Amino acid sequence: MVAIGVDVGGTKCLAVALGADNRVIDSLSLPTAPGIGVVEEVAELCTALALRVGEVATSLGVGMPGTVSRDGVVYLAPHLPALRKLPMREQLAQQLGIHVAVDNDATCAGIAEWEMGAARQCNHALIITIGTGIGAALIADGKVVRGHHGFAGESGHHIVLHGGEECPCGRRGCWEQYASGTALRRMANGVSGEEVLLRVVKEDAEALIVLEEFASWVALGLLNLVNTLDPQVIVLGGGLGSSAVLRHFVADALSQQMPPAELRPAPLLVTAQLGPEAGAIGAALLGREVIA
Ligand SMILES: [Zn+2]
């Protein structure tokens, strides 16, 4: 018996099959289907992956890039605009006849890092994924913070500059306009985040200035969250966030912005441990929790 987890991205859907010992047995991915075709695709991935590993799927968890209510309705996914108030959990449960959980993708990645990765055994943790945008999972008092509707953790849309850069959410000055991979590319005049990091390693002076500026924006948003949640550990994950070079710069910037350590001890800042499968693994764990 396996738990299946699917991480739905803007361009790719990644499915993993998780054994009873939480080990990834196998994985499968497909380009993300357009519109509401994504529901059918997730169901297909679940069935095909279970078949491939020769096991029965007992549960399915799905991570979606957007706001998902506590009952598994996808309200808004900025990169999949056709999905609005889509009752995904209900549709998949009916179709597959197994337990299904649907949640935000960063929440899923955070659950994986909390249960079996860099935030293991921490009752107060903040997991921030930095990629095209910013996602967050908040762990407080040993529980995932979901909020009244289930929309907690939309930290990428904390406003850090009144009247600042336009954001797809409709407002201006959101944190992800200054501290995401997209923002870094803009600051570096079109050079990708990966390339900026490579140039910094080669001690390129211009890249160094850009990365210091970028890291100070990352740290500013983190400090707001530290003041809100008082975490023991902050895990940086996602395509850009998992970089050890970036962690080093953000740690420097955060220590400059934090109050003196004797007044406010700084949280530990670490990189994620589970790599690009974290979201799918967390989704599988979440789906399995529904059974428990
Ligand atoms: Zn925004």
Average pLDDT estimate for 188-197: 96
Is pLDDT above 80 for 133?
Answer: yes
Average pLDDT estimate for 255-271: 92
The CA distances from residue 133 to 71, 169, 232, in Å, are: 25, 11, 24
Cα 157 to averaged position of ligand 1 atoms, centre (Å): 4
At a CB cut-off of 8 Å and minimum separation 6, what does 119 contact? 110, 113, 125, 127, 139, 233, 235
Look up the pTM and report it: 0.93
Cα 60 to averaged position of ligand 1 atoms, centre (Å): 30
Cα 45 to averaged position of ligand 1 atoms, centre (Å): 31
Is pLDDT above 60 for 292?
Answer: no
Cα 5 to averaged position of ligand 1 atoms, centre (Å): 27
Amino acid 10: pLDDT: 83
Is pLDDT above 70 for 245?
Answer: yes
Is pLDDT above 80 for 27?
Answer: yes
Cα 172 to averaged position of ligand 1 atoms, centre (Å): 7
Report the CATH architecture of 121-272.
2-Layer Sandwich (3.30)
Cα 114 to averaged position of ligand 1 atoms, centre (Å): 26
On whether the 2-109+276-291 domain is CATH 3.30.420.40, my answer is yes
What DSSP letter does each residue of 127-188 carry, written as one string? Answer: EEEESSSEEEEEEETTEE--TTTS-TT-GGG-BSSTT-SB-TTS-BSBTHHHHSHHHHHHHT
Average pLDDT estimate for 255-280: 93
Cα 174 to averaged position of ligand 1 atoms, centre (Å): 5
Cα 175 to averaged position of ligand 1 atoms, centre (Å): 7
Q: How confident is the model at residue 48 (pLDDT cuts 50, 70, 90)?
A: very high
Query: Contact 232/267 with Cβ under 8 angstroms?
Result: yes
- Distance between CA atoms of 265 and 231, rounded to whole angstroms? 10
Looking at residue 84, what DSSP letter applies? E
Q: How confident is the model at residue 82 (pLDDT cuts 50, 70, 90)?
A: confident
- Chain mean pLDDT for the chain: 94
- Distance between CA atoms of 205 and 108, rounded to whole angstroms? 37
Cα 95 to averaged position of ligand 1 atoms, centre (Å): 34
Cα 154 to averaged position of ligand 1 atoms, centre (Å): 9
Q: How confident is the model at residue 79 (pLDDT cuts 50, 70, 90)?
A: confident
Is pLDDT above 90 for 280?
Answer: yes
Looking at residue 30, what DSSP letter applies? E
Cα 134 to averaged position of ligand 1 atoms, centre (Å): 10
Domain boundaries, the chain: 2-109+276-291, 121-272
Amino acid 1: pLDDT: 84
Amino acid 81: pLDDT: 82
Cα 226 to averaged position of ligand 1 atoms, centre (Å): 20
pLDDT tens, position by position, 200-210: 999 999 999 99
Is pLDDT above 70 for 62?
Answer: yes
- Percent of the chain surpassing pLDDT 90: 87
Q: How confident is the model at residue 35 (pLDDT cuts 50, 70, 90)?
A: confident
Average pLDDT estimate for 42-51: 96
Amino acid 290: pLDDT: 61
Q: How confident is the model at residue 261 (pLDDT cuts 50, 70, 90)?
A: confident
Cα 170 to averaged position of ligand 1 atoms, centre (Å): 6
At a CB cut-off of 8 Å and minimum separation 6, what does 52 contact? 17, 26, 28
Same CATH topology for 2-109+276-291 and 121-272? Answer: yes
- Percent of the chain surpassing pLDDT 70: 99
Cα 151 to averaged position of ligand 1 atoms, centre (Å): 14
Cα 176 to averaged position of ligand 1 atoms, centre (Å): 7
Cα 216 to averaged position of ligand 1 atoms, centre (Å): 19
Cα 142 to averaged position of ligand 1 atoms, centre (Å): 28
